[in-house]
Amino acid sequence: MVSIQQRSDTLAAALPREMVRVTKIAGQYRQVENGFIAAALMEAAVERGQQAIESGDLTAMIRAYHDLKGFEL
């Protein structure tokens, strides 16, 4: 029998992790011609996440988390 361990995560842990992930992706986009546009959008989303954390606004944190999850390389 194989046990599948489900990972329970909190927004307090997941949002900063997504912010780091998207910051790394934005750095890669900055190295591509015309990638600065996508990088700027990503960096703005990271900034909104930081502001949401600092304000303690749960709704803004959830919105920021979902926005960040939408970015891919």
Residue-wise pLDDT tens digits, 27-64:
999 999 999 999 999 999 999 999 999 999 999 999 99
Q: pLDDT class for 70, splitting at 50, 70, 90? A: very high
Residue 34, amino acid: N
Are 48 and 60 a contacting pair, CB within 8 Å? yes
Q: pTM of the prediction?
A: 0.86
Number of domains present in the structure of the chain: 1
Residue 69, amino acid: K
47: in domain: yes
1: in domain: no
4: in domain: no
Q: Which domain holds residue 17?
A: 11-69
2: in domain: no
3: in domain: no
Please give the Cα distance from 35 to 59 (Å, whole number): 30
Please name the residue that has the structure tokens 């909104």: 48
6: in domain: no
